[in-house]
């Protein structure tokens, strides 16, 4: 299932994670393992944030996705999401 992963890391924890290399390592490991179709980095509500769209093959992968970011102090959310094509197919299937 296509998922949107959002990670948010406050300024203090983020600065420490960057200096130690832990944030770079966590992002690289996620990117290598889950090969997201998109990855963006920004600031949201004063936090360093990462947004990733990737395929979650099974719900038992959720700890593999979240724990490395939780270990850094990140707030993590995983939300199912659709492409424009998925939305069109969903509407068609719903008779809309």
pLDDT of res. 91 = 96
Asked whether residue 44 is domain-assigned, the answer is: yes
pLDDT at 12 over 90: no
Q: Supply the CATH number for residue 29's domain.
A: 3.30.70.1060
pLDDT tens, 25-64? 999 999 999 999 999 999 999 999 999 999 999 999 999 9
Q: Calculate mean pLDDT across residues 9-16.
A: 89
pLDDT at 13 over 90: no
Asked whether residue 40 is domain-assigned, the answer is: yes
Q: How many domains does the chain have?
A: 1
Asked whether residue 96 is domain-assigned, the answer is: no
pLDDT tens, 65-92? 999 999 999 999 999 999 999 999 999 9
- Nearest residue to 4 via CA among 80, 63, 61: 80
Please tell me the pTM assigned to this model: 0.91
Q: Show the domain range for 59.
A: 2-91
């Amino acid at each position: 299932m296509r998922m949107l992963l959002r990670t948010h890391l406050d300024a203090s924890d983020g600065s420490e994670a960057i200096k130690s290399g832990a944030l770079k390592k966590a992002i690289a490991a996620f990117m290598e393992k889950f090969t997201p179709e998109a990855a963006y980095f920004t600031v949201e509500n004063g936090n360093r944030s990462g947004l990733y769209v990737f395929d979650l093959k099974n719900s038992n992968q959720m700890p593999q996705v979240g724990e490395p970011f939780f270990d850094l102090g990140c707030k993590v959310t995983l939300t199912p999401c659709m492409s424009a094509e998925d939305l069109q197919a969903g509407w068609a299937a719903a008779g809309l």
